[in-house]
Amino acid sequence: MRIGVFGGTFDPVHLGHLRVAEEVAECCQLERVIFIPSGIPPHRRQPETSAAHRLNMVRCAISGNANFSTSPVELQRPGKSYTIDTLIKLSQAHPKDEFYLIIGADQMLKLKKWYQSEQLFEYCRIVAVSRPGTPLQAIQAKMAADFPASILSLISFFRVSALDISSTKIRKKIRHQKSVRYLVPKKVSQYIELYHLYQKD
């Protein structure tokens, strides 16, 4: 079985994430996409909301889609969340499956700096997706400069619908009492309202 692995802070998950998962699943014939919220992200400032809230929002977002699932694997592990550890765990649990790690263009630019970035390719292929602000050509050029040909052959570059949505923008809108309707799934905005998330400065 081909399984997509989609990591992120998901603070909160939004329609940009869901479209990426949907389009990659379709084009790469993935039977499942697992959304994996990161616990303590190694490369960025800490999330604004707790791991439990971020996981619950992903659950709200994917409910009703039998091909999407989520895993608390990075939230349960103490210390920093390294993708390599997650992939090792997943491949041990599912030795017969093939993993496709889905990464947005902005994150791809930093791939070389990830912990054990070259070892990642022992466990998965990478699907790099376009994102407004970072052209695919820019990441293709960066990957060619950063990695040898043997690794480049394991990276696919894929143009997805350009949705200029980010969690940062959503958090800012909520802080300024602006609507986030049609940027996040309805169940996610209901969850955010219920727990009064992202309202403080």
Q: Which stretch in 66-74, 102-110, 139-147, 176-184 sits in contact with ligand ATP by CB under 6 A?
A: 102-110
Our CB check for ligand ATP shows the closer of 90 and 103 to be 103
Our CB check for ligand ATP shows the closer of 31 and 106 to be 106
Q: Is 68 in the site for ligand ATP (CB under 6 A)?
A: no
In whole angstroms, the minimum distance from the beta carbon of 106 to ligand ATP comes to 5
| Number of residues located near ligand ATP, criterion CB under 6 A | 18
Token pair 């103490």 in the structure block, residue? 78
Q: Which stretch in 23-31, 59-67, 81-89, 98-106 sits in contact with ligand ATP by CB under 6 A?
A: 98-106
Query: Which has the closest alpha carbon to 171: 159, 154, 188?
Result: 188
Dist. CA 50–CA 29, nearest whole Å: 33
Contacting residue, 51, 166, 184, 191, with ligand ATP by CB under 6 A: 166
Q: Is 165 in the site for ligand ATP (CB under 6 A)?
A: yes
Beta strands in 44-153 (DSSP E): 68-70, 98-104, 125-129
Given a contact cutoff of 8 angstroms between Cβ atoms, the answer to whether 74 and 86 are in contact is yes
Dist. CA 60–CA 31, nearest whole Å: 20
Contacting residue, 65, 116, 153, 168, with ligand ATP by CB under 6 A: 168
Query: Which has the closest alpha carbon to 111: 124, 99, 98?
Result: 124
Q: Which stretch in 9-17, 58-66, 81-89, 175-183 sits in contact with ligand ATP by CB under 6 A?
A: 9-17
Q: Is 81 in the site for ligand ATP (CB under 6 A)?
A: no
Report the residue number whose CB is nearest to ligand ATP.
Answer: 104
Q: Which stretch in 7-15, 67-75, 112-120, 180-188 sits in contact with ligand ATP by CB under 6 A?
A: 7-15
For the segment 116-135, give every residue that binds ligand ATP (CB under 6 A). Answer: 129, 131
Contacts of 105 by beta carbon, 8 Å cutoff, 6+ apart:
128, 129, 130, 131, 133, 134, 135, 136, 138, 139
Our CB check for ligand ATP shows the closer of 33 and 90 to be 33
Dist. CA 124–CA 154, nearest whole Å: 8
Given a contact cutoff of 8 angstroms between Cβ atoms, the answer to whether 87 and 124 are in contact is yes
